[in-house]
Structure 1
C-alpha cells in the first residue's frame, strides 16, 4: 500500500469513527467531501468496499462472520457496477466533447449566413431560418452583382451535424468566388455541382434553388437542383403557382445540366423560396398541404416581406405546438415598384 492509499484509509477511519460516535451532520459533511477525494485519487467503488471492510475490522475486531461475508457479495456487485460506471463516465466525457464541438460548429454556421438582406429599390426581401436543433442543414445566400442583379440561393444539405456545417462552408466560399465569372443560374449550379461531386462524401448530397433578379427589366431567372419547389404569387390574378425547376441533386453526377426558367415580375408579385422543413410541418398527425402555406402567405402579404416570413413561421410553430421537427427556412422576395 503506497502512502497515498494509506492517507485515504486513515482519513476514512477518522470520518467513520466520528460518525459512529455521535451520528452528527458533521460526519455526513465530511463523508461528502471525502467522496471528492476518492474521485481525485480515482478510487473505484470496489476498492472503496475493501477500504471500508478493512477499517471496520480494525475498529470492531469482533464483527460477526456473516457481516464480513456480506462484504464479499457487495464487492462482487460493486465490481460489475464499477465497470459499467467507468464506461458511463467515458461516454459522458465523450458526449461533453461532442457537445462542445457542436457548439463551435453551430457558431461557425451562423457566421456563414448573411448578416443582412440586399438593399434594392425595387425589392423587399425577408428571410427566416430556424434550425430544429443546434445544427442546421439549411443554408441561404445572396449574391449582389456589379450590374445590380441580385442572386438568391437556398440549399438543403442532406445530412446533419458537423459534416453539414463543413459542406455549408464549402458552398459559401464557392459561391463567393462566382460573381466575378458572371454565371447564369444554370451555369452556377453546374459549377457548384462540380465542386460538390469532387469534394464531399458519396453519402451526402445538396439540394438547391438559385434565382437571379434583374432590376433593369424585372426578369427573374432561376434553376433548381432537386430542391423543394417554391411559389410565385401573381398579384394581377391573385393566384399562386408552384415554382418548379427540374434538375438533379448536387453531387450525384458530374454531367448534370440544369434547365433555366424565368418569370416577368410585376409590381405586387412575389417569389417564395423555402426548405422542406416548411412543407413538412407536421400538423394534426399529417404533413401540411402546400395550399395551407399559400393561404398563410396570402393572410400576411400586406405586411413587409420580413413580417410575412416571421408571421408564417410563428403560425406554423403554433400549429405544431412549438415542436418544430425540421430545419425551417423561408425567403420572400417582393417587387415594390
Structure 2
C-alpha cells in the first residue's frame, strides 16, 4: 500500500480519536473513494486500521484486539468478491463496446432509404425493441424496371443476429441484375442459411419483385408473417397468400410463388410479426385492428404513412415495444410512365 496513503489514514484516525468532528468523517468518505479507485482490498484497510489502533490505544483490551482477526478474515472474503465484481465490470464494458460495434454494423447493412421507382411510392420503417434488431429489410435492383424487396425476421437477438443479418445481406448482393424469380431467390438463400447458420437460429422472409412496367408483384415467402394487399377499388384488405418453410431448416425446400396485379392506389403492406405481437391493453393486436390503423394513414405518402402507423401503435401500446417492428408499403400511384 502507498506510504502516503498510510500516513494520511493515520493522521485522519488520530485526529478523530482525539476530537470526533464531522469534517473528519467527511475526509474519511473522500479518502475511501480514492482507496476504491486504487482498488485496494478491504482487508488491507482493516489491517492498517488495526496496526494504528494498537499504537494509538496501547491499553486496548486484548479481546478487542483479537476481534480484529475475525474482521480481517471476513474482509478477505469481501475483497475476493470485490475483485470478481471488478472483473465482471471490465467484461461488461468490453461487451458494451462490442455491442456498439455490432449496432453500427447493423446500420450499415440497411439501405439508407427506399429507392425511387416510376409509378410507385415506397416507404419503410424498422425500429428495434432493444439496441439490436432481429429484423432486416433490403431492396435489390434487378434491372429492366424490376425491383426486389425483402423483409426478414431473424429468430434470435444480439450479436449472433447481426452476424446472420450480414450474411443474408451479402448473399443478396449477388442477386443484382440477375433475372431470378422470388422462389429461386429464396431457395438460394435457404441453401446459404442451411449451410452457415447454427441450427438453433431460423430466418423468416418474404421476397418479392415489383415490375413497374406492368405493375405486378411476384413474391414467395419462407414462414414469414402474411402481408396485406389493399385494393382501392373496393377499399378492402386481403391477406397475402403464404406457403413455405422458414430458411435454414431443410436444404431441399420449394417456395411457391404468387402474383398480385396492382391498379392505381392499390398497395402491398409487408411487416414483421412485431407489428401483430404488439400488446394493447394486455391483448395482442389482431390483424383486423392492424388493418384499421393502416387504413387511417394509407392515403399519405408511403414514408409518412409508415411513420404514422408506427407512432400510432407505439401510443396504443403505452409506449412499449415488445419486439422489433418493421413495416414496408409499396403503393401504386396515379401517375405512371409504364405501360399496362
Shorter-chain TM band: over 0.9
* 2:123 alignment partner, SS class: strand
2: CA distance between counterparts of 1:309 and 1:258? Answer: 28
SS at match of 1:212: strand
Provide the aligned length of Structure 1 versus Structure 2: 334
TM-score (norm 2): 0.93
Q: Report what 1:312 is aligned to.
A: 309
Map Cα deviations across residues 138-163 of structure 1 (whole Å, 9 max, x no partner).
00001122212111100001110001
Which deviates the most, 45-54 or 83-92?
A: 83-92
Q: Distance in 2 between matches of 1:305 and 1:41?
A: 57
Specify which of 221, 224, 235 is matched with residue 224 of structure 1.
221
Correspondent of 2:133 among 133, 136, 140: 136
How big is the shift at 1:22?
A: 4.2
SS for the counterpart of 1:139 is strand
Provide TM-score, normalisation by structure 1. Answer: 0.93
Query: Could you tell me how far 1:94 is from its partner in structure 2?
Result: 1.5
Indicate whether 1:285 and 2:282 are aligned. yes
Deviation string 1:193-238 (CA, Å, 9 cap, x unpaired) is 1111111111111110011110111110000011111110011121
Deviation string 1:110-153 (CA, Å, 9 cap, x unpaired) is 11111011111211111111000000000000112221211110
Q: Is the 8 A contact 1:9 1:55 kept in 2?
A: no
Task: Give every structure 1 segment of 4 or more consecutive aligned residues whose post-TM-superposition deviation is greater than 6 Å.
Answer: none
In 2, are the aligned partners of 1:126 and 1:331 still within 8 Å (CA)? Answer: yes
Correspondence 1:187-336 to 2 at 5 A = 187-336=184-333
Preserved CA contact (<8 Å) 2:142 2:175:
no
Instruction: Report the secondary structure of 1:298's partner residue.
Output: helix
Q: RMSD of the alignment, in Å?
A: 1.8
Segments of structure 1 that go 5 or more residues without pairing to the other structure are: none
The residue number in structure 1 matching 2:96 is 99
Q: 2-side partners of 1:42 and 1:302: how far apart?
A: 63
Paired position in structure 1 for 2:337: none
Q: Which stretch of the first structure deviates more once superposed, 22-31 or 252-261?
A: 22-31
Query: What does the per-residue CA deviation read over 1:47-68, in whole Å, with 9 as the maximum and x for residues that have no partner?
Result: 2111111111111111233432
Identify the match of residue 116 of structure 2 among 104, 119, 123. Answer: 119
Aligned partner of 2:144 in structure 1 is: 147
Match of 2:47 in 1: 50
